[in-house]
């Protein structure tokens, strides 16, 4: 295989890639570019194994209780750092503070951006990245000479609500029913996307059909009448 070091098989290369991805998801950018000492990394792996027994799920929930998004390792926080850079292993306390050196973020707060996307403040038009993550400063803008004292987003979700109408929610698995939280988040995200069809060129009938389908699926899930792979 072209590009592989001499004597390395595809299987060995795949193992190295898997090891790198595991390291990146557990450590994030908190190592400052220098690999963690083996003892520290093994301790982090131990925490990950323990957290897996009662996994912590993070949702971006609107005022009606619908989960519009689910956070993954690369999901950004208002402090600009990713979820993997936070204390994702704090399952019991749910105090998922940022682990990046010098960051004042006390708890992960999802900001719905991907890649180079940005969300600007309605008051000062500066990026969320220019606002303070320190809760004591009420997300005031840090730009020189800017008097903006609180971030309010120029952004609306497909559910029709603003960023301020959502909150970041931490939940653990329901004993004996580990699939439900995962499925609920996925289905509620589908609910909003299907409902948005009628606003993005689709017919009203298509939008209503999608909304009805999602409500039926969610109703069965919450009612306990479904199992993984048998939501219909």
Side-chain-side CA neighbours of 220 within 13 Å: the count stands at: 15
In the numeric block, the tokens 């795949």 are attached to 14
pLDDT category, 226, cuts 50, 70, 90?
Answer: very low
Report pLDDT digits (tens) over 51-75: 878 788 899 999 998 888 889 888 9
Distance, in Å, from the CA atom of 89 to the CA atom of 170, rounded to the nearest integer, reads 12
Has residue 100 got a pLDDT over 90? Answer: yes
Q: What is the pTM of this model?
A: 0.69
Rounded to whole angstroms, what are the CA distances from 190 to 58, 186, 194? 17, 6, 6
What integer pLDDT is reported at residue 83 of this predicted model?
A: 94
Distance, in Å, from the CA atom of 211 to the CA atom of 190, rounded to the nearest integer, reads 9
pLDDT category, 88, cuts 50, 70, 90?
Answer: very high
The larger pLDDT score, comparing residue 230 to residue 155, is at 155
Which pair of structure tokens corresponds to residue 159? 């559910």
Which pair of structure tokens corresponds to residue 34? 């220098």
Share above pLDDT 90 across residues of the chain, in percent, rounded to a whole number? 34
Report pLDDT digits (tens) over 9-37: 888 888 888 888 888 888 888 888 888 88
Has residue 123 got a pLDDT over 60? Answer: yes
The larger pLDDT score, comparing residue 27 to residue 226, is at 27
Distance, in Å, from the CA atom of 56 to the CA atom of 104, rounded to the nearest integer, reads 22
Instruction: Give yes or no for a contact between 187 and 153, defined as CB atoms under 8 angstroms apart.
Output: no
The DSSP symbol for 118 reads: -
């Amino acid at each position: 295989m072209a590009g592989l070091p001499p004597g390395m098989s595809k299987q060995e290369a795949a193992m190295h890639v898997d090891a790198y991805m595991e390291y990146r998801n557990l450590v994030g950018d908190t190592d400052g570019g220098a690999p963690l000492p083996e003892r520290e990394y093994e301790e982090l792996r131990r925490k990950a194994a323990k957290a897996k027994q009662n996994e912590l799920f993070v949702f971006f929930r609107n005022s009606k209780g619908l989960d519009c998004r689910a956070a993954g390792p690369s999901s950004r926080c208002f402090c600009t750092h990713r979820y993997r850079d936070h204390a994702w292993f704090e399952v019991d306390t749910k105090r998922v503070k940022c682990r990046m050196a010098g960051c004042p973020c006390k708890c992960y707060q999802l900001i719905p951006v991907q890649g180079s996307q940005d969300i600007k403040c309605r008051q000062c038009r500066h990026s969320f990245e220019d606002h303070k993550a320190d809760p004591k400063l009420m997300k005031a803008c840090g730009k020189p000479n800017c008097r903006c004292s609180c971030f309010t987003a120029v952004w609306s979700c497909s559910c029709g609500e603003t960023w301020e109408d959502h909150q970041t929610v931490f939940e653990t698995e329901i004993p004996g029913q580990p699939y439900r939280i995962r499925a609920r988040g996925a289905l509620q995200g589908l609910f909003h996307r299907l409902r948005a069809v009628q606003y993005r060129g689709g017919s009203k009938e298509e939008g209503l059909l999608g909304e009805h389908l999602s409500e039926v699926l969610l109703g069965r899930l919450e009612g306990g009448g479904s199992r993984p792979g048998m939501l219909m």
